[in-house]
Amino acid sequence: MLTKPNPASTTLYSSPQEMESHAVRFIMAEKNIEREVLNLKLEEIPEEILELNPCQSLPTLFDRGIVLYDLSVVMEYLDERFPFPPLLPVDPIEKSEKRLLIFRFTRAPGCWFELVNTIESGNKKGANEARKILKSNLIELVPLFAYKPFFKSDDMTIVDACLGALLWRLKKLDIELGVPGKAVTDYANRLSARDSFKASLTDCEKEYN
């Protein structure tokens, strides 16, 4: 078990291979946050941290004596706590749109993150169906991936952090978008070329591509 966290540091307890943790690591690297990132198994998290996370899940963020564990909460907290560069718009309408996209991609029933988990579940029939749905969904949104440098934005947002983590796993998930999905592939390549994205990768994630 790990020792008690340093109250003066921003500490991320992170899964070395799950998308949610990867997205948060990408955000922290993009903002160049002075941080301690511990990639570990859930049972290795200190007791006092687990006691403050009733979901007992990863990623879990410890900062200023508080423990945060919901993906959206963690991402928005980091954006407000470390405001440069901003990864959410100031305009409330635009900000709400980005929040809805995060919900749609990561938490809504049948969302893309859920589809990835189904593909990785080991259930062959369910995985094949989820793979088809995810591929179809991505190609359907090709115009949005091609519209601007980032997803519906001229600047990177937390939406891109989530999508970048997911798209990096397509080869591992045995999903090939081909010519119809070229705009998605180009978008993914732009994200993965960023120094912050490269810095966010764990050793096992580096092997996905």
The residue ranges of DSSP E strands in the chain, in sequence order, are 11-14, 36-39, 60-63, 66-68
Q: pLDDT of 123-159, one tens digit each?
A: 888 999 999 999 999 999 999 999 899 999 999 999 9
Residue-averaged pLDDT of the chain: 93
Q: pLDDT of 7-26, one tens digit each?
A: 668 999 999 999 999 999 99
199 and 111 in a common domain = yes
107 and 49 in a common domain = no
pLDDT band at 77 (very low <50, low <70, confident <90, very high): very high
73 and 100 in a common domain = no
The closest alpha carbon to 73, from 24, 114, 34, belongs to 24
* Whole-number Å distance between alpha carbons of 66 and 52: 8
Residue positions counted in the chain: 209
Q: Measuring CA to CA, how many Å separate 105 from each of 65, 72, 138, 158, 163?
A: 30, 11, 11, 12, 8
Question: 112: domain CATH number?
Answer: 1.20.1050.10
pLDDT in the model for residue 53 = 85
The strand pair at 11-14 and 36-39 is best described as: parallel
75 and 40 in a common domain = yes
Question: 25: domain CATH number?
Answer: 3.40.30.10
| Number of structural domains found in the chain | 2
115 and 173 in a common domain = yes
18 and 64 in a common domain = yes
Q: Is the dihedral of CA 119, 125, 128, 133 positive or negative?
A: negative
Write the CB contacts of 190 (distance below 8 Å, at least 6 apart in sequence): 149
CA atoms within 13 A on the CB side of 116: 22
pLDDT in the model for residue 5 = 60
> Does residue 1 lie in a domain region?
no
Q: Is residue 3's pLDDT more than 90? A: no
121 and 67 in a common domain = no
Mean pLDDT is lowest, of 38-52, 54-68, 117-131, for 38-52
The strand pair at 66-68 and 60-63 is best described as: antiparallel
96 and 77 in a common domain = no
49 and 136 in a common domain = no
Phi, psi (degrees; rounded to nearest 5) at 196: -65, -35
> Does residue 49 lie in a domain region?
yes
Residues 57-71: what's their mean pLDDT?
Answer: 92
pLDDT in the model for residue 43 = 80
pLDDT in the model for residue 48 = 79
125 and 71 in a common domain = no
99 and 77 in a common domain = no
Cβ atoms of 59 and 77 within 8 Å: the answer is no
pLDDT in the model for residue 46 = 79
pLDDT in the model for residue 59 = 94
Q: Is residue 97's pLDDT more than 60? A: yes
100 and 70 in a common domain = no
> Does residue 40 lie in a domain region?
yes
Q: Which domain holds residue 59?
A: 11-81
Exposure of 204 by Cβ count < 10 A (0-12 exposed, 13-18 middle, 19+ buried)? exposed
Which structure tokens are listed for 156? 């990177």
